Amino acid sequence: MQFSVSQNLFLQALAKVFSVVPQRSTIPALNNVLFNLKGNDLTLSATDLEISLSTKIDVNGSQDGQAVILARKLHEIIRELPDIQVTVSVSEDRRVEISCERGSYHLSGDDVEDFPMLPTIDGGSEVTLSAAKLHRMIGKSMFAVSKDELQPALTGILFEIRPEESRCVSTDGYRLVKIIDKSFRFKGEQHNFIVPYKAMNLLHRLLEEEKELKIQFDENHLIFQMSDTELITRLIEGKYPRYEAAIPSASQNILKVDLEALRATVRRASIFADSLSRQVRFKLSENALEVMAEDMEVGGSAKENLAVDYKGDELQVGYNATYVLDALKQLDTDEVIFEVGSAGTPGIIKPTEQEANEDFMMLIMPIR
């Protein structure tokens, strides 16, 4: 196998597949990138057995063939070269030579037969989505994914395809995000998928320069097909919690406040919050909000008053400051609507104006 390509284009493709290569693996083959050259089409593939990624670039092909090359060493040397023409040659005894005007570099390749076969879907369903819309939905929901491996269903994003909408949902048991694209249409039955966080995070980066994508799916896998890249992920098994049951009906305690003012106040108060609970307390009365925090261990405390638009019961409720700040970061409006529950019921955070054909809300559990 032999081809020539610009360093910049080659590095972009390598960076995509390198993001899938596991940092540590007991299976040597997973540390490699598979190269498949046909004419001037070069396909690079990598997998960690849960997620697989293939991307295609145009090169000046001289000799068709396949090769398996150590990912980390290859990525490091290409990254350090300037944007010049690079030639990659692989001999029949799997010796790899990377040459350019600056010099040449040599690696030992591995047996192509040892590289794992990438998953395929036969007879599955297919749907087309807006890349920009899915990029937004993933970005708004990733922060609430759980890191608790004892609850595997919560370590992914629930992706729902419905006849008249699509949804992304995430929760870690203390907070929940639901974002709906009401412009989506699908001729078929509802399908629910729990997609691993790593796959969604990677897809989020890949969608930045895409206009649309196709999704193929069966019971075990999703394939995201973009213009020159294909991402395949195994789905997380199990049932996702009945999240709709956790969302309370509309509260009568409605707080409307300047987003940046609330964010700055909570951020300052959180400096004095307990290091474990991170609790800040909201004390609400008509058109007034008092934000308080106290750390009994070190004897520090904070109290700030904000003029707000609030109608509802006089009450006091505590929230984890980090969770509040994470939610506020997701909003694009100048003001925020906070439907405040009681000391034992969740609070709902929403933008004051929803995007066109979108329904976006975040839930935060209070600290008793």
Q: Note the pLDDT tens digit of each residue in 180-196.
A: 999 999 988 899 999 99
pLDDT grade for 298, boundaries at 50, 70 and 90:
confident
Span 144-175, pLDDT tens digits: 999 999 999 999 999 999 999 999 999 999 99
In a domain, 120, yes or no: no
Domain assignment of residue 236, yes or no: yes
Structural domain boundaries, residue 176? 125-243
Instruction: Compute the chain's Rg from CA coordinates.
Output: 25
Contact between 166 and 160 under an 8 Å Cβ cutoff? The reply is yes
Q: What local confidence, expressed as pLDDT, does residue 122 receive?
A: 80
For 203-257, the pLDDT digits (tens) are 999 999 899 999 999 889 999 999 999 999 999 999 999 999 999 987 889 999 9
Shared domain check, 223 and 270: no
Kindly state whether residues 42 and 144 are assigned to the same domain. Answer: no
Q: What's the CA gap between 199 and 84, in Å, rounded?
A: 32
Contact 63, 4 (CB under 8 A): no
Cα dihedral 246, 250, 253, 259, rounded to 10, equals: 80
Domain end among 114, 146, 179: 114
pLDDT, position 171: 98
pLDDT of amino acid 121: 83
Spatial CB neighbours of 210, under 8 Å, sequence gap ≥ 6: 131, 135, 226, 227
Q: Check pLDDT > 80 for residue 263.
A: yes
Order of strands, sheet of 309-311, starting from the edge strand that comes earlier in the sequence:
191-196, 156-162, 165-171, 175-181, 358-364, 347-351, 335-339, 254-258, 309-311
The answer on 154 and 86 residing in a single domain is no
CATH of the domain at 105: 3.10.150.10
User: What residue spans of the chain are helical by DSSP H?
Assistant: 7-18, 71-80, 131-141, 197-206, 243-246, 259-270, 321-328
CA dist., res. 292 & res. 329, Å (int): 20
CA 219 to each of CA 115, 163, 195: distance values in angstroms, whole numbers, following the listed order: 24, 18, 12
Q: Does one domain contain both 130 and 238? A: yes
pLDDT in the model for residue 17:
97
Residues 145 and 98 in one domain: no
Question: Which residue among 224, 243, 262 closes a domain?
Answer: 243
pLDDT confidence tier of residue 343, bands split at 50, 70 and 90: confident
Q: Answer yes or no: is 79 within a domain.
A: yes
* Together in a domain, 300 and 275: yes
- Shared domain for 154 and 168, answered yes or no, is yes
Say if residue 53's pLDDT is above 80: yes
Distance, in Å, from the CA atom of 291 to the CA atom of 311, rounded to the nearest integer, reads 17
Residue 308: CB atoms within 10 Å: 19
Share of the chain above pLDDT 70, in %: 100
Same domain flag for 266 and 319: yes
Q: Which of 84-98, 316-330, 341-355 has the lowest mean pLDDT?
A: 341-355
pLDDT at 56 > cutoff 80: yes
- In a domain, residue 119? The reply is no
Q: How many domains would you assign to the chain? A: 3
Which of 228, 243, 258 lies at the terminal end of a domain, its last residue? Answer: 243
